[in-house]
Chain A
Amino acid sequence: MQTIATESVPVLAPLRARTGLGRKARRNVSAHGFLIGAVLCFVFFSWYPMCREVVMSFQKTQLGVTSWAGWANYKRIFHDPTFWTAWRNTLEFTVLALIIGYAVPFFVAILLNELRHAKGYLRCLVYLPVMLPPTSALLLFAYFYDPTYGLFNDILHTLHLPTSQWVQSPGTALPSMAMISVAIAATWMNMGGATLIYLAALQNIPGELYEAAELDGAGLVKKIRHITIPQTRLILSMLLMLQIVATMQMFVEAFILTNGGAGVNNNTVSVVNLIYQYAFALSGASNYNSASALGVVLMLVLAAFSGAYLWLTRDRGDLR
């Protein structure tokens, strides 16, 4: 290593072509030496687990002996009613988080972009919850949501509105109050990031476009519809995809709000929560293989979303 590192090596690619084979090989060894640490971490903690997940989902372990199980794990999870509950809840959360957490940051960003004062203050304010440890923020929300002594019910009570059980609502109707509560807490915690990214995108819109629209007599709504949204379309679609992929992995929000459980009648159990339950929480019956099968299903769904996004944006790129 030492001799290689002290060897004088041109770092320029064009110079490389003119050098001899021996030096080229030595430079490659040196370059791989720089890479090896990160590559080993990727091998052990990313690439290998990825392959292993697929392998484990087709295996079973009985009394310490591992053997092939065919599709048995997949059959088992598909026959588990909680599997469908978990998917329903996860999709419900994804949709609710989109309705609340996708549109709100965009309009907040449009609003903040128009203000000439207190910009720095408001920007900090919106991002502050993102920096909080999730446990702190969620235990606080659990306290607000408490049906007896919580602040939210007290506010509703003062306003003579019907109070709610919030996260502890037993109902499983769509959308369920329990999931709406989780989505509100999640949006409060996470909307800062999206807001600031939108804000940066809004500042890149050329001002002349708005001037031109005004000459044509366009009002506020028309300007937002025909200039702001088309001009930020790329960022809008990118964040849409990122948010779908992120919300489908929801775990910590519902887990902490329900004190490590899955809500009344499992009505806040998410797919990742179910993976966790299969693998670690069901006492005596922890089953890595079923959990892996569920992991593969989630991986395929997320890959489908990512793939669809890439296909859609490529299509749009051609049209431009």
Chain B
Amino acid sequence: MNSPPPRTLVSSAQLNQPRGKIVYRVVLTLVVVVFTLVFIGPLYFLFSDGLKSTTEAVQVPPTIIPAHVHLSTYGSAWSRVGLARLLVNTLYYAFGALFFQLIFDVAAAYSLSRLRPFGGRIIFALMLATLMIPSTVLLVPQYVTVADLPILHLNLIGSPEAIWLPSVANAFNIFLLKRFFDSIPADLLAAAAIDGASPLRTLRSVVLPISRPILGVVSIFALVAVWKDFLWPLLVEYGYSPSRETLNVGIFEAASTTPQNLVLAASAMAAVPTVIFFLVFQRNILAGLTAGSLKG
């Protein structure tokens, strides 16, 4: 990558002057130091304060470096908050939601994009309209509906489906997928059709293999959304024994009756999977962010 940097606010010529070089060095150092302090600093406390003893964690003034390292805090936090259970629950909800979203949303986007059923345009418009009305506004009727599904008279409260199925009603997913499917060359699909491939076969053998980038973006959004959600799982998976809560809800519930150092150790452990996930998939995550919001 030896190409010259793109022209920005300050020209390279200006930066190459002696004065420019000094100013640039100072600004760069300042930015790196300040940003590290602001964004990594709190994480340092998240992880290090879990190593303190219960009394040291609430000591005045607070210590920057733990005076005595208590690795056992992490162990007691793990068992006291029941993190194993919460982690399994959250993974189960997240991957279940991903599974249902991939099946139903991909099929729907493919149908709207390529099969173009009668009334498809209206259905797509109605789906997009839901983007204007965020789901927190519909908290109560959604809860009442999930507690007693119309016609079927099923109560989904406390079951994983209460998280999985509402996650499928995601217009943004369908919009992203449809836009990608729209861009697939028609010749490719015509070739499949001439070979006698059914829509399902075409989807499986032609469309899905070339849609990997967008499927990756949708998958990441799906997993992160379940992992970060708080209010909905608080309503539908709360108060069962053994616990059906997510990490977010479970740790929050435990926080008020648990010593501060254990709360922080539990919070730190809950953050580890997402931090690793981010470091592994950062390229896809950062690319997906702009793919979703910018046209062209």
Contact = CB atoms under 8 A, between A and B. Distances in A.
Does A pair with B?
A: yes
Interface of A: 5-13, 15-16, 27-28, 30-32, 34-35, 37-39, 41-42, 44-50, 52-53, 56, 110-118, 121-129, 131-137, 139-141, 143-144, 148-151, 154, 157, 188, 193, 196-197, 200-203, 207-208, 210-211, 214, 220, 223-224, 228, 235, 238, 245-246, 249, 251-252, 255-256, 259-260, 272, 275-276, 279-280, 288, 291-292, 295, 298-299, 302-303, 306
Contacts of A272: 136, 139, 231
Contact of A131 (B108, B200, B224): B224
A235 B42 contact: no
Contacts of A140: 42, 45-46, 264, 267
B111 interface: yes
Contacts of A255: 230
B102 to A, nearest CB: 11
B285 A127 contact: yes
A145 B274 CA distance: 24
B138 A28 contact: no
10 contacts: A32-B111, A41-B104, A48-B145, A127-B282, A127-B285, A127-B289, A133-B251, A141-B42, A210-B9, A275-B139
Contacts of B230: 134-135, 251-252, 255-256
Contacts of A27: 115
Nearest to A223: B9
B227 interface: yes
B140 A292 contact: yes
Given A41-B168, A303-B132, A135 B248 contact: yes
Contacts of A37: 103-104, 107-108, 168
B45 to A, nearest CB: 7
B198 A128 contact: no
Nearest to B250: A135
Nearest to A297: B137
Contacts of A292: 140-141
Nearest to B113: A11
A251 B193 contact: no
Nearest to A300: B137
Contacts of A295: 137-141
B256 interface: yes
A306 to B, nearest CB: 5
B92 interface: no
B5 interface: yes
Given A121-B32, A249-B134, 19 more contacts: A9-B199, A28-B117, A34-B108, A41-B165, A42-B169, A52-B141, A115-B27, A118-B28, A124-B286, A129-B42, A132-B274, A135-B270, A196-B289, A197-B293, A207-B7, A275-B140, A279-B139, A288-B144, A295-B139
B39 A302 contact: no
A24 to B, nearest CB: 9
A140 B40 CA distance: 13
B8 A220 contact: no
Q: Which of A50, A113, A133 has the most CB of B within 10 A?
A: A133
Q: Which of B40, B138, B192 has the most CB of A within 10 A?
A: B138
B198 A8 contact: yes
B260 A136 contact: no
A134 B247 CA distance: 10
Interface string B271-295: 1001101110010011001100110
Contacts of A211: 7, 11
B6 A203 contact: yes
B218 interface: no
B201 to A, nearest CB: 8
A125 B10 contact: no
A148 B189 CA distance: 67
Contacts of B57: 149
Nearest to B202: A11
Contacts of A228: 9
A56 B139 contact: no
B237 interface: no
Contacts of B249: 135
A279 B141 CA distance: 10
A113 B200 CA distance: 45
A202 B8 contact: yes
Given A122-B35, A140-B42, A197-B293, A53 B132 contact: no
Given A35-B112, A135-B252, A260-B256, A56 B289 contact: no
B274 A49 contact: no
Contact of A135 (B138, B200, B267): B267
